[in-house]
Amino acid sequence: METGINVSSIASDLREYEDFIQPYEDAVSIVQVWLETLDKDFQRRHKHNPIHSMQSRIKTLNSIVGKLDRKGIPVSFEAAKDYLTDIAGIRVICFYVQDVYTIVNILKKQMDIIMIKEKDYIEEPKKNGYRSYHLVLGVTVYHAEGKQYYPVEIQIRTLAMDFWASMEHQLCYKAVRDDKTLLSKELKECSLLLEEIEGRMERFYDPEAEREG
């Protein structure tokens, strides 16, 4: 493959991309099954669903090529496999902060995974106010030639965190350069307010009392 954003040069036909991306799709499916099973089991045991919703995504060919190009890495599927850990991703939306940590702890106990990267932006938010829990797990995918680990980026956040992140993305995309400093300050304040409101609402929820009932 040649360097440069030219889709025809990175794949002679669609099958080359499909062959490359298939195990990433399989890895996402495996994690989704884990999460769905966890949610059902938690509901059965504790009468509470920690997961509100899930969204999965797989990078398109254009997106893979563009990211390698921006990083200054010669474009090839081999390079994508070696250097990109976000080709496959899942976003998990929870009701409560404690649900986020429940899911994180259970995911870490799964067999056939390796921890590639972990960052707790809830305990230590980004400077702009962004909060979420990020994991990159190497998920075992079995195929005819054997087994191999494929990275899946997992973002776990609450409804409030997801609302803020979605609005921040939309507002910053539309903001003109002169507005961005003020906007960043306002968004940080909004993040702090949402964190306070979220904490107050979470106190209304007493999982121990609910489990005892």
**Rg over CA atoms, the chain:** 20
How far apart are alpha carbons 36 and 167 in whole angstroms? 27
Of 36, 124, 153, 210, which is the active-site residue?
153
18 counts as catalytic: no
The per-residue b/e assignment along 165-195, b for 16 or more CB within 10 angstroms, e otherwise, is beebeebeeeeeeeeeeebbeebbebbeebb
Q: Which residue has the tokens 């995504």?
A: 57
Least Cα distance to 23 among 103, 138, 182 occurs for: 138
How far apart are alpha carbons 118 and 121 in whole angstroms? 10
In the sheet where 51-58 sits, what is the strand order? 51-58, 88-94, 146-158, 133-143, 113-120
Q: Which residues are catalytic?
A: 153
